[in-house]
Structure 1
Amino acid sequence: MRTIGNVLWLLLAGWWLALLYVVAGVIACVLIITIPFGIASFRLASFVLWPFGRRSVFRRDAGALALAGNVLWILLLGWELAVAHILAGLFLCVTVVGIPFGIACWKMVPLALLPLGQRIVPVRDGAATLAAPVGRA
């Protein structure tokens, strides 16, 4: 069922949302100081391309640098990506078939705004990751 959901997602919204993340990653990598933003953007592009069966969890060891980086990310690239998710969610909710995909798109808005300090994990490993700090699960 996840594969069908992922294929439909890819056709309806995943490919162009992932393309936006790749463009944001390339822009961030061109500016040498923002290479960590580019790496995070590429990681999110793979998640946005094929999201069902995976989830995002907050890393407990993310510190003040991740917080400061997220503030900078919101100002530079994050708000545009969040608006793209909101608009895509609205367009997907026009049809009955697209409503679950629109809701999934809206669930990605916080991730688009705050990508640093997040980890993408398979759904079956989500509970173990939430219970213990990264590296100790």
Structure 2
Amino acid sequence: MSLLLNLLWFVLGGWIMAIQWFIGGLILAITIIGLPFVPGIWRIAMFSAFPFGQELIDSPKGRGGSVFSGLLNIFWLIFAGIWIAISHALAGIVLFITIIGIPFGFAHFKLAGAALMPVGKEIVPKPLKTR
């Protein structure tokens, strides 16, 4: 099911979102201040291309640098994260108007959460539910 949803998501606009996140990462890579944000942003770019069947978790590797990650996330939240999260949340609300758009609305809400604090996160496959 997640393969079908990912294909529909990618064809109907997920690729545009992924390119926007990737270009944003390239722009930040040019600056010295924005360079620490680039790996997290590119992870979200891949996540925004194929959000179904995956989840964003705190990285176990990031525990040693958690203070640095926390400071970067606060800086990101103030200057960019809140605005990106609001746009994803609004898109999710609009998609909830139609029955077909509900899964895509949930994906936008997932991306809104990812946009708030991208540094120190890791994308992992979502565990399969057993009946």
Question: 2:99 and 2:119 mapped to 1: Cα distance?
Answer: 34
Give the TM-score normalised by the residue count of structure 2: 0.84
User: Which residue number corresponds to residue 105 of structure 1?
Assistant: 108
- Equivalent pairs: percent with the same residue? 35
Distance 1:66 1:18 in 2: 23
Alpha-carbon distance in structure 2 between the residues aligned to 1:17 and 1:86 = 14
- Could you say what secondary structure the match of 2:43 adopts? helix
Distance 1:25 1:95 in 2: 32
Residue deviations 1:86-135 (CA, integer Å, cap 9, x gap) = 1221232232100121022112212101011111111239xxxxxxxxxx
Q: 1:76 maps to what in 2?
A: 79
Match of 1:95 among 95, 98, 102: 98
Structure 2 portions without partners, runs of 5+: none
* Structure 1 residue 76 displacement after superposition: 2.5
Q: In the alignment, which residue of structure 2 is the partner of 1:65? A: 68
Structure 1 spans left out of the alignment, 5+ residues: 126-137
Partner of 1:124: 127
Question: What SS does the corresponding residue of 1:121 show, helix, strand or coil?
Answer: strand
Distance 1:13-1:91 versus aligned 2 partners, 3 A rule: farther
State how many pairs are aligned.
Answer: 125
Cα distance in 2 for partners of 1:12, 1:84 equals 17
- Give the alignment of 1:28-67 within 5 angstroms: 28-60=28-60, 61=63, 62-67=65-70
TM-score, length basis structure 1: 0.81
User: Which 4+ runs in 1 deviate beyond 3 A?
Assistant: none
